[in-house]
A and B are shown apart, each in its own frame.
Chain A
Amino acid sequence: MAQHIVLDRVSKRFPPAKRGGDEIVAVNDVSLEIERGEVFGIIGYSGAGKSTLVRLINQLEPVSSGTITVGDVVISELRGKRLREQQTGIGMIFQRFNLLTSRTVAGNVAYPLEVVGVGAGERRRRVAELLEFVGLAGRADAYPEQLSGGQQQRVGIARALAANPEILLADEATSALDPETTAEVLDLLGRVNRELGVTIVVITHEMEVITRIADRVAVMEAGRVVETGATYDVFTRPRTTTAKRFVQTVVRALPEGDDLARLRSRHDGRFFTISFTDEGASEARVFSALARAGVDFQLVHGGVDDIQGRVYGLLTIAVRGEADAVARALEGIGDGVTVEEQR
């Protein structure tokens, strides 16, 4: 697939907050290639620089150094009218929705169409079509404050798509929503990606958002991208501490510290953590192998996760029995699993 957005050694520095203070480096020498038609996630804690990074892509903020290419245009070199023309091709949605309170739902969705100079009749037709797409056909004349958070974000999505952009930037778009509404909005973003072929860049601090819709993910920390890869790979084989911590927010991966101590007080035997990907094994295979070997075991922690439709298991079991028998039992599970004893 062709590259759609290319960041080449991009940095963004802000002047010090007070005179004589240190310059703030929000984005530090980041290079990324985002492919046409993919959903690309950027995850990081607050202050990691991800919101600044996404604002560099559509040039709401100019870069301090490096270049950003969108399609075949070096957008980071453009200013004024020529930049604004390119910005119409990149939609954006926000954590707080940022709808105009002075306009109705239809008026908000029509806004980008006015900017690009679409006539009134065509505007009406397009607004109706967009509201239909996001499931708000009946609410055209409502005002934003009359809608729920999830509905407001749908309006935000309709607005972002109005001018037929090829790219949609989502800045913590679900962070202000409850889990159920988050799922609905993410499903809608998935449809935007699949049905309209829009390249989506999702900024979030929630790993669930990434595992649900992102094809690939970049992990950001202190202004740098510390890890990039297919979501499944980063999830199953995180390399950096930050990535591991994010993974642990979704799979209750390896019990540590107090958690581990509490488990030990409740269960006898040795603790093993078994991890497997869908290429290697399944939960059933793990359990049947243990059962066949005749050792006494109990699942104490973890489970199986679905990442982009693929399986990832992380099971911690307590095993009782002779050391040899236990070793044979674990051996018997076969290839494609990683077994690690928790001591």
Chain B
Amino acid sequence: MSEIAGVLPDLLEQTAIMLWMVALALVFGGVGGLAIGTGLTVTRSGGVLQQRAVWWILNVLVNTFRPIPFIILLAALQPIGRLVVGKGIGTEYAVFAIAIAATFGIARIVEQNLVAVPPGVIEAARATGASPWRIIRTVILPEALGPLVLGFTFAVIAIVDMSAVAGLVGGEGLGNWAVAYGYRQFDEVVTWSALVVVVVVVQLLQALGNALARRIMRR
């Protein structure tokens, strides 16, 4: 018990840093992923803004980034990170890299859920004279909202996972703390307390996502 009490201040601090990283990466990656995923859906053939060239570019972009293992992407994005966040190391840079990876992951999740919106509903909106942008805003996104929330919940958990390797580039957070102070210093209390916190955080996020989706889908 006293051992846990000893690591508690660090545990809380690193948990807060992790949650902050996850939140920022989710906001930026979420917005980026929503934009690209929506773009993929509406520009594909038969979409409300069918644009073969745009679709092709987006598709290649997503297919290029998605298979890269995150730990390699984290190292490789350093030059771009220096331009965007001013440095290629530290927590801020790690957030940048996570947001990039999350953008492309979320893009596919968003696309999968948006293409599942029944074409008939979109056609009914087109028949009322609604513009493509209005249809995206008032039909495609709202109709897919429940599954989208579940998809984002899935993405958040992947982001928690990615945040754990921030230590590679000198970033902080629960993962780095568990590796640097738990694994390397043979302190099992640190490793296990980090693990327990991550599990609890993920459980809570999943429960929150499920509850929200259930409310939206009224089931």
- The answer to whether B123 and A112 have CB atoms under 8 Å apart is no
Closest CB of chain B to A24's CB: distance in Å?
Answer: 15
Interface of B is mostly: helix
Provide the B45-87 mask, 1 if CB < 8 A to any CB of A, else 0.
Answer: 0000000000000000000000000000000000000000000
Q: Which residues of A contact B126 (CB under 8 A)?
A: 60, 87
Interface string of B122-141 (1 = CB under 8 A from A): 01111111110010001100
Instruction: Give the nearest-CB partner of A103 in chain B.
Output: B142
Which of B121, B125, B134, B143 has the most A CB atoms < 10 Å from its CB?
A: B121
A115 in contact with B143 (CB, 8 Å): no
For residue B6, CB closer than 8 A to chain A, the reply is no
Chain A positions 97-126 with a Cβ under 8 Å from a chain B Cβ: 98-103, 111-112, 114-116
B118 — which chain A residues lie within 8 A by C-beta? 96, 98
A163 at the interface (CB under 8 A from B): yes
The answer to whether A84 touches B124 (Cβ under 8 A) is no
Assuming the contacts A102-B143, A102-B145, A115-B134, asked whether A96 and B128 have C-beta atoms less than 8 A apart, the reply is: no
Residues 60-96 of A, flagged 1 when their CB comes within 8 A of B and 0 if not, give 1000000000000000000001001111101110101
Q: In the bound complex, how far is the Cα of B127 from the Cα of A90, in angstroms?
A: 8
- Whether a CB of chain B sits under 8 angstroms from the CB of A58 is yes
Contact B129 A88 (CB under 8 A): yes
A111-B125 contact given A84-B130, A94-B120, CB 8 Å threshold: yes
B128 near A98 with CB under 8 A, answer: no
Residues of A within 8 A of B134 (CB): 115
Most buried by A among B124, B126, B139, B218: B124
A100-B218 in contact given A88-B128, A112-B129 (Cβ < 8 Å): no
Return chain B residues, CB-CB under 8 Å to A96. 118, 120
Contact status A87-B143, CB under 8 Å = no
Pair A115/B129 contact, Cβ less than 8 Å: yes
Q: Which residues of B sit under 8 angstroms from A45, Cβ to Cβ?
A: none
Contact A100 B129 (CB under 8 A): no
Interface residues of B in 117-171 (CB under 8 A from A): 118, 120-121, 123-131, 134, 138-139, 142-143, 145
CA distance A316 to B154 in the complex (A): 69
Tell me whether A143 is interfacial, beta carbon within 8 Å.
yes
Q: Is the CB of B143 within 8 A of A101?
A: yes
Q: How far is the CA of A274 from the CA of B139 in the complex (A)?
A: 56
Is B127 a contact of A58 with CB atoms below 8 Å? yes
The answer to whether B127 and A60 have CB atoms under 8 Å apart is yes
A111 cross-chain contacts in B, Cβ below 8 A: 125, 128, 130, 138
Look across to chain A and name the residue whose beta carbon is closest to the beta carbon of B146.
Answer: A102
Contacts of B123 on A, CB cut-off 8 Å?
Answer: 60, 94, 98
Question: How would you classify the secondary structure of chain A's contact residues: helix, strand, loop or mixed?
Answer: mixed
Q: How many residues of A sit at the interface, in one of the four size bands?
A: 20 to 34
Tell me, in angstroms, the Cα distance from A115 to B135 when the chains sit together: 10
- When distances are taken between beta carbons in the complex, the residues of chain B under 8 Å from A159 are 124, 128
By a CB distance below 8 angstroms, the chain A residues around B139 are 100
Chain B residues positioned under 8 Å from A114 (CB to CB): 138
B47 CB to nearest chain A CB (Å): 14
Residue on A nearest B125 in the bound complex, by CB: A111
- What sequence of 0s and 1s flags, for each residue 162-204 of chain A, a beta carbon within 8 Å of any chain B beta carbon? 0100000100000000000000000000000000000000000
| Contacting pair B120 A112 (CB below 8 A) | no
| Known contacts A60-B126, A143-B218; A98/B131 CB under 8 A | no
Q: What distance in Å separates the Cβ of A312 from its nearest Cβ neighbour in chain B? A: 36
Query: How many Å from the CB of B125 to the closest CB on chain A?
Result: 7
CA distance A129 to B139 in the complex (A): 24
**Interface pair A84/B142, CB less than 8 Å apart:** no
CB distance from B8 to the nearest CB of A (A): 45
**Cβ A85 vs Cβ B129 within 8 A:** yes
The residue on A at minimum CB distance from B119 is A98
Q: Is the CB of B124 within 8 A of A163?
A: no
- Cα distance A86–B134 when bound, in Å? 17
Q: Report B160 CB to chain A, min CB distance, Å.
A: 29
Binding site for A on B (CB under 8 A): 118, 120-121, 123-131, 134, 138-139, 142-143, 145, 218
| In the complex, the 3 A-B pairs of residues with the closest C-beta atoms, listed nearest first | A87-B129, A98-B124, A88-B129
What are 10 of the A-B contact pairs (CB < 8 Å)?
A87-B129, A94-B123, A100-B121, A100-B143, A101-B143, A102-B143, A103-B142, A111-B138, A115-B130, A159-B128
